[in-house]
Amino acid sequence: MLQVAVLGGLEFSPLVVYFPIAFLLAALTRFVLHRLDWYDLIWKVAWFEVSLFVCYLALTVYVLGGR
């Protein structure tokens, strides 16, 4: 349930919080995939990572936005 991000009396869009969370999740996935050597299973790594980030972002918006 994060509708607004308030910092020192300034109101920010919650996306300011959602973006870093999605980025961290994507980075974590990337790290795990590297560790497990599963990157061979991926065809276009750059496409995959961008898509993964978008999916994580949507998930964060859905879960934290309380929708």
Partner 1 sequence: MTKYLRIFITLLVILAALFAGNWVWNDYMHSPWTRDGRIRAEIITVAPDVSGWVTDLKISDDQVVKEGDLLFSVDRQRYQAALNQSKARTENARYTWELEKHKNERRTALRRQEAISAEDLESSRISTEIAKANYDLAVAEQETAQLNLDRTHVYAPASGHIINLNLRKGNYVGQGASVFAIVQSDSFYVTGYFEETKIPLIHLNQQAKITLLSGGKPLTGHVVSIGKAIANSNTQSNGQLLPQVQQTFNWVRLSQRIPVDIKLDSLPEGTQLSAGMTATIHLAKQ
Q: Which residues contact 18 (CB under 8 A, 6 or more apart)?
A: 57, 60, 61, 64
Smaller CB separation from partner 1, 6 or 35: 6
CB of 48 to partner 1, least distance (A): 5
Using rule CB under 8 A, residue 11 touches partner 1: yes
The Cα–Cα gap between 40 and 10 comes to: 45
Using rule CB under 8 A, residue 61 touches partner 1: yes
Using the 8-state DSSP alphabet, how is residue 65 labeled?
T
CB of 35 to partner 1, least distance (A): 18
